[in-house]
Structure 1
Amino acid sequence: MNKCSVDLISVIVPVYNVEKYLRRCVDSIVRQTYSNLEIILVDDGSTDASGTLCDDIALEDSRIKVIHQPNAGLSCARNSGLEIYTGEYVCFIDSDDYISPDYIKYMYELCILAGCKMAFCNSLTTSEDNCSVVLDSGIAPKTYTNTELLDAFYGPMHGNITVAWNKLIHRSIVGDIRFEPHILHEDEATTFKFIYNAGIIAYTDNVLYYYYSRPESITGKSFSARNLDILIGYKRRLEFYLEHNETELYNREYSYYLSALLINYYKVYKNIDDNKALLRDLHDRYKMLYNQADKSTITGPRRLLLAICVHFPLLYGILR
């Protein structure tokens, strides 16, 4: 495909204390079969040798740019990259992960062939350093409308839909969207906006992204009050669907958010000492949300369970 070598594609890599994994990540990017790349490494105030390593790696490849900034979190690091990227498309790679050699070329071609401006791929969680899954040419790509994909969010594809790091996004889709700063689970509050703006999205079930599982990563740590940041994403989606008159998505998110409040109530009860204030806050948020919306969209048995949980919120967690 001739156009394959024309469009500049930007790759934004937030970097924080990953000196053991950074070179593997960057090597997987510079060795892409699609070569017209702008690679932006954002050193987010690393306290190990990651910042120096970014500078050293940049000397090896003219396509690499480095930003150094005080530590502000993953969202702010990605946003710093979004402020300076110049590519026609952009993608995000976490610095302890790595990608298939065909990751960018494959998804770029998906966009061209499907006539769309966003594509995403299947991913594999691994603890191996050099995982490689052979591409299956027999796997036919799929396309979704934005509302179809956002509805699929509530099913088995949730993990691949909600994250930002397995997606290639045209700059017209990104616009002025930025990741919400200073929270965990920032993708929950942001990626759905890219999907909604895209209109049509292409997907391949081929595994092109390798999510590296390590105990010291954010997602590998035990439950704490900061994990409640995930509820911000649910709230943002609910507000967004209401604002855009997406009634069906609003109703799905409403039920999902209610359940999430109860699940996290149970997690706080089980995992956090001195939890009374957190439990009261979650209970009050649940009760307010339950009382404010049309519950006729929820099935009778589930509506009864959720009503009971207004008074006995632990019940939902126990039943789960």
Structure 2
Amino acid sequence: MKISIIIPVYNVAQYLRQSLDSVLSQSYNNIEIIIVNDGSTDDSLSICEEYLQKDERILLLNKANGGLSDARNFGLPKATGDYIWFVDSDDWIVANAIEILVANLSKMRCEVLGFSFINYFEDTHKFSDIAYSQSIGVTTGNDYILKSTFFFPSAWSHIYSRAFLEKHQLTFKVNQLHEDDYFNFGCFGRITSIAKIEDGLYYYRRRENSITTLASKENLLKRMNSYVSLLQLFEIINDIDKSFLLKKGNAYKRNLYELLNQYVLLETIPFAEKYSQVKALKPWLKGFKSEGTQFSHSKKNWLIKSSLQLNALLFLITLSLLKPNK
């Protein structure tokens, strides 16, 4: 069984060697490593070229910067393995991870296999226990979600049959933050055979300066648009349990609500842009409940809490925009 590992690389020189070393030192050798340099401007490319000379199993692809989804999609047509694993270049994998995956895939022959992971907190240099460790026997994608004690929709915590991805022409949505959520919720309803093992095979680096921790205007807009895209996707999904989608959708709305709060409070954003954004997001926050309170002008909500930090006109207009329709 051959395993293809796709590693998108963009300005991760300080982490890249650890990631590549963890893959090249695997106890299982029948692998190919597809490195996609996504227009790096630091030393990442020179490191990739150094490793290219070290191991003939490496294929290095260079492209203009297009983001994580675009880089993964760029590498997919080059993969020749039976299964594909998407590994992020600032993370790393345990020494016998692929051997464990192959042993389980050889027995179960499922389209997708999930596994657990370990968080590494960069600011404290501490590791978590194995996260969401659970064993799930071979089942459908929908049942897998329902049986999960917590469904973590990351692409790197699953390994996918190449035949399955090609059959359904599955790729990652470009310019989409939370691209793993979008990808997996779009494909899990199509999975006829998936299982999960308890083993923690992946070290997930949690970085304080990641895209999900920055609060600039541009970042907030990207993140809000990302959640709207996910909510739009949920409206057309018909192969995943509706009660799960409702619960998950409400979680996305909660995040959207909090991001909108941050956006409105940024002093550098003109009033007209705040007005427009609140108006645009009103339909997606309809019916949303925060801490048991209806998202309503008549309740104590984020606008009232922050009214002293907003000019009076913005407060009155946003309050009116968010007033529930009668």
Shorter chain as denominator, the TM-score bin is 0.7 to 0.9
Matched, 1:225 2:217: no
String of CA shifts for 1:122-167, please: whole Å, max 9, x gaps: 11110369989999xxx984224311223356xx523xx3100111
* Contact map agreement 1:262 1:313 (CA 8 A) in 2: no
Partner of 1:205 in structure 2?
198
Secondary structure of 1:196's match?
Answer: helix
CA distance in 1 between partners of 2:134 and 2:249 (Å): 33
The answer to whether 1:148 aligns with 2:143 is: yes
Aligned to 1:162: 153
Equivalent residue pairs, number: 287
Equivalent of residue 188 in structure 1, options 168, 181, 184? 181
Could you say which residue in structure 1 is the equivalent of 2:6?
A: 12
Are positions 1:68 and 2:59 aligned together?
A: no
Deviation at 1:187, TM superposition (A): 0.7
Cα 1:220–1:140 shift into 2, 3 Å: closer
Q: 1:262 to 1:194 in 2, by over 3 A?
A: closer
Report the TM-score, using the length of structure 2 for normalisation: 0.78
Conserved 8 A contact 2:9-2:38: yes
C-alpha change, 1:119 and 1:313, in structure 2 (3 Å) is: farther
Structure 1 residue runs without a partner (length 5+) = 1-6, 292-301
The aligned residue for residue 252 of structure 1 is: 244
Would the aligned equivalents of 1:238 and 1:250 in 2 still touch at CA under 8 Å? no
Q: CA deviation at 1:216?
A: 2.6
Deviations 1:256-297 (A, max 9, x none): 32453244223321354243322221112333xx59xxxxxx
**1:198-251: CA deviation from partner (whole Å, max 9, x where unpaired):** 32212122211000122232234346221121332232233122xx4x5xx234
Matches of 1:61 and 1:132, distance apart in 2: 30
C-alpha contact (below 8 Å) 2:115/2:197 kept by paired residues: yes
Please, which moves more after superposition, 272-281 or 77-86? Answer: 272-281
- The answer to whether the 8 A contact 1:190-1:233 is kept is no
In terms of mean alpha carbon deviation, does 180-189 or 195-204 score higher?
195-204
Offset at residue 36 of structure 1 (A)? 0.5
Change (3 A) 1:107 1:115: same
Q: Residues 151 and 260 from structure 1, CA distance in 2 versus in 1: closer, same or farther, beyond 3 angstroms?
A: same
Counterpart amino acid of 2:210? S
Give the structure-1-normalised TM-score.
0.79
- Matched position secondary structure for 1:203: strand
**Amino acid aligned to 1:285:** W
CA contact 1:269–1:279 (8 Å) conserved in 2: no
Structure 2: stretches of 5+ with no match in the other structure: 306-326
Amino acid paired to 1:150: I
Q: How far 1:42 sits from its partner (Å)? A: 0.4
Change (3 A) 1:315 1:28: same
